[in-house]
Structure 1
Amino acid sequence: MKYKLTKPDKPSSNMIALTFALVIVYCLATAFSIVLLGQRSLISGNLFQLKNIISLIFNWRFILSMSLAILSRISFILINSTLLKIPYLSDIATTLSVIITLTSIIFILIANHYFLKESLNIKQAIGAFIVLMGIFIMLNK
């Protein structure tokens, strides 16, 4: 038997665009889920008392944050599913999904800086740039 070597198909630009859009949804949902729960007034009390936990669970910020966390998980699954449809990435789709979704750290740093007034230093900015470049290199095989 003779085997013919073929070059893997290039993914359609639609699949790459869809993956990119899903990553943005994932990053925004994750970042704002964390920002909503990061309000000092929401988490500064004694959360080891049942009445405070119940109060937290029925707080609108907590409910919205949990909804965004669910959206984040769904978008992760959709990212993984989309990567499975790209031939040269299908064997590592789940691992690549995890690596790609690490870009949410960048969104979290920026959101925390603007909404929670946390500091953003040069090391964090350089790290964010390195993560983005690594993902760009991985997706452009």
Structure 2
Amino acid sequence: MALSSANKFNVTSNASKMIFLAFVLIIIHCLSTSISIVLLGDKKLISNNLFKPANVLLLIINWKFILSMSLAVISRISFVLINNTLLKIPYLAGTATTITVFVTMLSIVFILLANHFFLNETLNLKQSFGALVILTGVFIIISK
């Protein structure tokens, strides 16, 4: 049975809304992941001997660790929500989980930038090129 033009518009409109929602969730995922990693990348926080139980306890009760773990939970929830959103887009539904994995790889770019600006780690040409390849690949995968 063929769809009427009004139904085709509704399907297209719905898909556009879902793609926008997925985009917002991807940004939330990338930000929560990168901030979580920056917090745990603090050299002062992780430089103690973490094979001693007392130091592990100090790490676990540290506010940066607690916030980082909370952001990690948000990151996982956003992954599930992205996957759920992509399942509602007909032309992406068959590969929603795989696509979710690819688009959440955008967090790598956010992490590289956050580590550069907040942890004073340097990006070399190879890392910058890799980030560009990831971005390009994600856009190719999600485009219709």
* Fold equivalence (TM over 0.5): yes
**CA drift at 1:109:** 0.3
> 1:22-74 deviations in whole A, cap 9, x for unaligned?
00000000001000000111100111111111110000000000000000000
- Which residue does 2:75 correspond to in 1? 72
- Which residue does 2:123 correspond to in 1? 120
Gap runs ≥5 in structure 2: none
Distance 1:135 1:49, change over 3 A: same
Q: Quick check: 1:84 aligned with 2:87?
A: yes
> 1:81-105 deviations in whole A, cap 9, x for unaligned?
0000000111110111011101100
Secondary structure of 1:12's counterpart equals helix
Q: Quick check: 1:21 aligned with 2:24?
A: yes
Secondary structure of 2:51's counterpart equals coil
Which of 92, 107, 112 aligns to 1:109? It is 112
Secondary structure of 1:15's counterpart equals helix
**CA drift at 1:5:** 7.8
Gap runs ≥5 in structure 1: none
CA RMSD of aligned residues (A): 1.5
Which of 44, 51, 54 aligns to 1:41? It is 44
User: Normalised by the size of structure 1, how large is the TM-score?
Assistant: 0.92
User: Normalised by the size of structure 2, how large is the TM-score?
Assistant: 0.90
Identity in percent = 57
**CA drift at 1:12:** 2.7
Which of 115, 130, 134 aligns to 1:131? It is 134
- Which residue does 1:54 correspond to in 2? 57
